[in-house]
Amino acid sequence: MLNKNNKGISEIVVTIIIILLAIVVFAVVSLVVRGTVTKGTENIELSANCLEVEMHATKIAKAFDGSQQFVGYDVTFSRSGTGEKLYGTRVVIEDTEGYALSSADIVGDIRPLDKKIERVLNKLDTPTTFIPAKVTLIPFFQKKSGDLSYCENTFTDELKVTA
């Protein structure tokens, strides 16, 4: 009669299960690492792009609507000739007392050597004594995920309002 020795078969099955388990663990770990490395690479690229950007406000003027009502300030800014095109910028106007008016994120390509005029609207609670003293530009890029990446290097210029 045949001697049924299943000991050899069970060792083969265990070895195959261990190999399959190792393959699954490797696949999961590689997916996690790949995602982390990809995000890190994108952040490094965006930071490098930010370092190449230079922008400065050159003029600030009172802005009026069609009926000559004061609505805010038009800020003219220009960009140097270096770096990648920006996805947009945010404009912040401050007075000497620390009160600030801020634009929303102004989305639109800003290429090297571009000159733009953007309007920062007055708020209802803006003090009547508000006199702009400086303008800060905060450039940003768009990530592949669609999120915005604000540059840490901002550009502040002291300007006086022109008529």
Helices then strands, counting H and E runs in the chain, come out as 1, 10
Contacts 24+ apart (CB under 8 A), 122-131: 122/70, 122/71, 122/72, 122/73, 126/99, 126/101, 127/97, 127/99, 129/95, 129/97, 130/95, 130/99, 130/101, 131/95, 131/96, 131/161
Total Cβ atoms within 10 A of residue 133 = 16
Chosen CATH of 53-162 out of 3.30.70, 3.90.930, 2.60.40, 1.10.287: 2.60.40
β-partners of residue 94 are: 100, 134
- 37 or 111: whose pLDDT is higher? 111
Per-residue pLDDT tens digits for 124-153: 888 888 899 999 999 999 988 888 989 988
Mean pLDDT score across all residues of the chain: 86
Per-residue pLDDT tens digits for 43-64: 788 888 888 889 999 999 999 9
Tokens of 144: 């592949």
- Which sequence spans correspond to the domains of the chain? 53-162
Tokens of 111: 């290429």
Per-residue pLDDT tens digits for 67-99: 998 899 999 999 998 888 899 999 999 998 889
